[in-house]
Structure 1
Amino acid sequence: MRETDKVLIVGGGIGGLCASIALRRQGIDVDLVELKSEWTVYGVGIIQQSNVVREMARLGVLDEYLQAAYAFEDVAIYNLEGKQLVRIPGQRLAGPDYPANIGISRLALHNVLSETAISRGVQVRLGLSVERLEQDAEGVDVIFTDGTSGRYSLVVGADGVYSKVRSMLFGDRYQPRYTGQAVWRYNFPRHPSIDHLASYQGAAGNAGLVPLAEDLMYMFSTSHEPGNPRMEPSQLAELMRERISAIGGLVGELREQITDSSQVVYKPMEVVFVNEPWFKGRVLLIGDAAHATTPHLGQGAGMAIEDALVLSHELVGEGSMEARLRRFMDRRFERCRYISEKSILAGDKEMAHDHTFDRIGLVKEMLEVTAQPI
């Protein structure tokens, strides 16, 4: 078996799919297993900032979903009355022919990624996960939950914040932590003024509006929810309206349109960061399995996508598998830790109602950091 002959990816979310596509582009055989028997998608939309647009162009999928997305350039921050405080120009990191930023529905993105992966020869099996891993110097023997088996050069755990692969590597050392906050999301017809990412910030609350298509946008808001209470599903619309009751401007105008509780996507924020190498032998973690963070900087999925591209580059490089994975860690660890820590910091400052916190400065800093080559 060559050093990288065949790879197993555990988890069919954004990170796992991008990794499978990137590895196939390098000529590596890929199996992907996903625990869900029906490949459903959680959530409403996703922001792909300039660094992510750059990587998706390198992945070769950006052209395929631009028509299903909304391209925009700038990020603007407003106060709670709707007065613009700053407008931050976007950077076209993927080149002049591509936009700085993209908003896209998670369903549209999933459809493009899953169809691309399958068309490029990724062997996908749904309703399946790993039961046991046994590795030696040459590869990993995998027993799946249906009793079948396989042997791989590398196993990649892209199975999310509650990663089973992470528990196989580290036991219970790294457990998801509830931050004290939750995020609320709701879709609307796109308002003509929302041709950019609009973020509304203040001590009494926050919200954002993100364009997803010519006729679609979504609102998000984060709230302090001590004790991680269970929310009654039938009351989600009313509760979301309450959480943004202090916000005026366009958000205030839209508030009373939040009426369908079944369309409110509510999610408590849970974080985890593996503060040591994300691999042991020939088993590696990427994405939320290694560094799940909060959505305050809009980079959680972006870091998973970057993981996927960097992994594909390093696996075809020189040296042993350990050397390649150490190079991967050298390129990813500090960058992901920065996003994780700064995102959590922003949430902590929201909960503390810290009027001195420079949220605008943090956003500008993050954009400068992520614009740097990986």
Structure 2
Amino acid sequence: MSAINTALVIGGGAAGTAAAILLVEQGVDVELVEIAPDVVALGSGITLQGNALRVLRRLGVWESVRRLGHEFSTVGLRAPDGTLLAEITDARTGGPDLPAAVGMYRPDLARVLTGRADELGVRLRFATRCSALDQDADGVGVRFDDGSTGRYDLVVGADGVRSATRRMLGIDLEPEPTGMGIWRVFAPRPVSVTRTDLCYGGPAHIAGYCPTGPDALYAYLVEDAQDRTGLAPGEKLAVVRDLAWHYRGPWDEIRSNLTDPASINYTWFETHLLDGPWHRGRVVLIGDAVHVCPPTLAQGAALALEDAAVLAELLGAAERVDEELWSAFTARRLERARAVVNGSVQLGQWLLDGEEGDVPGLMAEVARVVGEPA
């Protein structure tokens, strides 16, 4: 049972599809609307830490994720010349029966989650935008851009960093750049790449890569944030290859495979955190709509999935949607998200400032926090 009978989820990313899956499993009639015309996911690859895998197992998709992705439980640290400086056993934040991390192609994860939602009976509507919310004590009336309307016991806004739902609620929260930009590229995986390796130093703040399946990886190079919008695809490829030229070891093989301009994605690191309750009445925000952190600790997707799991758990145990439920949700999520966001930003700031901060200590503390079940 659940405190609600009907729910609208706005946004078809990881947070939204996870919330839809878990609510429909409780017998809730769930509708999910997504502004994109089909299942999409920007970027090339994603690193799913153990605490994300714990939720994916709860969603019933772990075996699919395992089959499509590449699991590993150590991280390498390399010098720019390719020398392996250290091999670190990564924290298994999802528990001892799950790997420390899985690298995966982002569109594959999106398809797996959406497929699971569809299989369980979530009503999926693509190319649909929520244009207005009108709520009272008992529910939320919603108008969509195609002229249709609906009424729901709960609306979940999981529509990303520039959430339209957040703006409709009148919440003043916008992402701020942290000063870094990241080049991501999807490429064939050399057989020598079996885990994430990171290099701090050289012309990039971070040069790293993550295997995403049997034959693929995503590589990334982090620089000072620059306006790269005017570059043509071929020029972007040239910039990436030039940066990658300064790194050796597995990068030599990776660089030789960087030939497709369409595989390159460039974004700035951004951050925000809604410091306070994530709901207004019967509308609640989760995922990037309320917390965004640079990917320096690879915890963005994990936080989003945890939001969905905790929300569904509390709704399933409650008799009504009231302040007691929302207080419990805030208590379970806000400080945990703050620890991850602050840690992710701090690690990047040390790199920007050229400071030798306690990176291992920071990473261990965040791993300790997220290693506890959400």
Corresponding residue of 1:268: 268
Please give the root-mean-square deviation of Cα atoms over the aligned residues, in Å. 2.0
What is the rounded CA distance, in whole Å, between the counterparts of 1:210 and 1:308 in structure 2?
Answer: 26
What is the rounded CA distance, in whole Å, between the counterparts of 2:346 and 2:94 in structure 1?
Answer: 29
Structure 1 unpaired stretches of 5+: none
Equivalences, count: 371
C-alpha contact 2:94 2:371 (8 A) present in aligned 1: no
The letter for the 1-side match of 2:181 is A
Q: Which is further off, 121-130 or 310-319?
A: 310-319
The letter for the 1-side match of 2:353 is A
Structure 2 unpaired stretches of 5+: none
The letter for the 1-side match of 2:338 is R
How far is 1:350 from its partner?
2.0
C-alpha contact 2:3 2:317 (8 A) present in aligned 1: no
What is the rounded CA distance, in whole Å, between the counterparts of 1:143 and 1:38 in structure 2?
Answer: 21
CA offsets 1:223-244 (integer angstroms, 9 cap, x no match): 1024676443331111112333
Corresponding residue of 1:329: 330
CA offsets 1:294-328 (integer angstroms, 9 cap, x no match): 11110111110111111110111235423212211
Corresponding residue of 1:166: 166
C-alpha contact 1:72 1:99 (8 A) present in aligned 2: yes
Q: Could you say what secondary structure the match of 1:368 adopts?
A: helix
Corresponding residue of 1:57: 57
How far is 1:357 from its partner?
2.0
Quickly say closer, same or farther: Cα 1:338–1:95, change in 2 above 3 A: closer
Q: How does 1:236-247 map to 2 (within 5 A)?
A: 236-247=236-247
Quickly say closer, same or farther: Cα 1:323–1:228, change in 2 above 3 A: farther
C-alpha contact 2:76 2:86 (8 A) present in aligned 1: yes
C-alpha contact 1:77 1:360 (8 A) present in aligned 2: no
C-alpha contact 1:207 1:251 (8 A) present in aligned 2: no
The letter for the 1-side match of 2:56 is M
CA offsets 1:124-160 (integer angstroms, 9 cap, x no match): 1111121111111111111111111111111111000
Q: Could you say what secondary structure the match of 1:202 adopts?
A: coil
Q: Could you say what secondary structure the match of 1:46 adopts?
A: strand
Q: Could you say what secondary structure the match of 2:290 adopts?
A: helix
C-alpha contact 2:190 2:254 (8 A) present in aligned 1: no
CA offsets 1:257-294 (integer angstroms, 9 cap, x no match): 32322211112222222112111111111000000111
Q: TM-score, normalised by structure 1?
A: 0.93
Corresponding residue of 1:178: 177
Q: Could you say what secondary structure the match of 1:213 adopts?
A: coil
Q: How does 1:73-84 map to 2 (within 5 A)?
A: 73-84=73-84
C-alpha contact 1:7 1:28 (8 A) present in aligned 2: yes
Quickly say closer, same or farther: Cα 1:339–1:98, change in 2 above 3 A: closer
Asked whether 1:133 is paired with 2:133, we answer yes
Corresponding residue of 1:188: 187
Corresponding residue of 1:349: 350
Q: How does 1:180-219 map to 2 (within 5 A)?
A: 180-202=179-201, 204-205=203-204, 206-219=206-219
The letter for the 2-side match of 1:105 is Y
The letter for the 2-side match of 1:327 is A
The letter for the 1-side match of 2:43 is G
Q: Which is further off, 154-163 or 323-332?
A: 323-332
Q: TM-score, normalised by structure 2?
A: 0.93
How far is 1:195 from its partner?
1.6
Q: Could you say what secondary structure the match of 2:51 adopts?
A: helix
